[in-house]
Amino acid sequence: MPIDSRRPRALSLAQSTSGSLHLGNYLGALRQWVPMQEEYEAFYGIADLHALTLEQEPAARREQTLVGAAQLLAAGVDPRRSVVFLQSQVPEHTQLTWVLNCLTGFGQASRMTQFKDKASRAGADAANVGLFTYPILMAADILIYQADKVPVGEDQRQHLELTRDLAVRFNARYGPTFTVPEPHIITAVGRIQDLADPTAKMSKSAVSPAGLINLLDEPAANVKKIKSAVTDSERTIVFDEESKPGVSNLLTILSALSGSSVGALVDDFAGRGYGDLKAAVAESVSAFAVPFRERTLELLGERTELEAVLADGAERARAVAAETVADVYAKVGLILPR
């Protein structure tokens, strides 16, 4: 399908390291990708190069990359409308990363809170340099497609700021080159919390899996986790993230999946207990996750087709990415081959 240059562009990638996407990935990011296909020329994919920052057995890595891609399609990303690709199949991303590495101050990169968190958890020696330059590869992912909008969760806001800084800096130094992208973060769902520790965000790297809803897990296991979600010692169902983070998180999830506003849910649940709220959340999560899981497994059963979709996506992505890299290389004074 020809690239339609009249529409604004959207780009977003998800990592593939845990195999299954979790409910936070879905509500915070992936769910926004689907309607954006209408209005935007969208580039969506799996950040398998970013995933290399974590050690993983190669066969498992290959499998999880495909599981990741199948989930994008199962969620409703349509490869006839959007470019769906694997980051590693578009080598221009790493070419642009090097140029951006050389434009990023060490101090600025050192201030990235996600790196500081991950490095402090891994220990200074275990954290690799890839983890340090992770946000710069992410900046390249975005800038290479001249993306206008980047649908992500709240945890990516600082990386988006860095991306914008780099675009502005490059444009100021070498002339207009990059579109300065805007984050597309839906505040209400931008940070889904861990069910067992509702003061922390839901994350695949959580200390315990008790509060993590992986979309591909056995539905019964997820129902059990939701029913054991940590709440508080009161009895009233009200939304207050400060004093009732657990209940507020459950209301956020239910609101996002049911389409009812948090206010309407609070009215509905007046006089009812936390058990009722958890049962409703469990039901709405299952209503989404059960068919999502079936569809993902179905797509994984048609691997050749899935790999063909990704190869086609990579080709379409490269057509755009190569243009940006040629422009950037020429502007910084590299000699392009004749």
225 a catalytic residue: no
Q: Judged by CB, which is closer to ligand AMP: 189, or 328?
A: 189
Residue 155 in the binding site for ligand AMP (CB under 6 A): yes
CA dihedral angle for residue 226, residue 239, residue 23, residue 256, rounded to 10 degrees: 120
118 a catalytic residue: yes
Residue with tokens 């049962």: 279
Three-class secondary structure assignment of 82-125: CEEEEHHHCCHHHHHHHHHHCCCCHHHHHCCHHHHHHHHHHCCC
Tell me the backbone φ, ψ of residue 41, rounded to 5 degrees: -85, 110
Site mask for ligand AMP (CB under 6 A), range 277-316, x = bound: ----------------------------------------
Site mask for ligand AMP (CB under 6 A), range 27-66, x = bound: -xx-------------------------------------
Site mask for ligand AMP (CB under 6 A), range 115-154, x = bound: -------------------------------------xx-
Residues whose CB is less than 8 angstroms from the CB of residue 155 and which lie 6 or more positions away in sequence, other chains included: 114, 191, 201
Paired strand residues for 150:
183
Q: Judged by CB, which is closer to ligand AMP: 217, or 327?
A: 217
Paired strand residues for 43:
11, 83
Q: How far apart are CA 156 and CA 181, in angstroms?
A: 13
Site mask for ligand AMP (CB under 6 A), range 201-220, x = bound: xxx-----------------
Residue 190 in the binding site for ligand AMP (CB under 6 A): yes
Which one of residues 9, 10, 20, 25 is an interface residue with ligand AMP (CB under 6 A)?
Answer: 25
Query: CA dist 209 to 33, 193, 206, Å?
Result: 26, 13, 6
Q: Judged by CB, which is closer to ligand AMP: 26, or 170?
A: 26
235-264 residues near ligand AMP, rule: CB under 6 A: none
Query: CA dist 282 to 169, 223, 254, 286, Å?
Result: 47, 5, 9, 6
Which one of residues 15, 64, 82, 163 is an interface residue with ligand AMP (CB under 6 A)?
Answer: 15
**Residue from 116, 149, 204, 244 carrying the catalytic annotation:** 204
Q: How far apart are CA 141 and CA 137, in angstroms?
A: 6
Residue 14 in the binding site for ligand AMP (CB under 6 A): yes
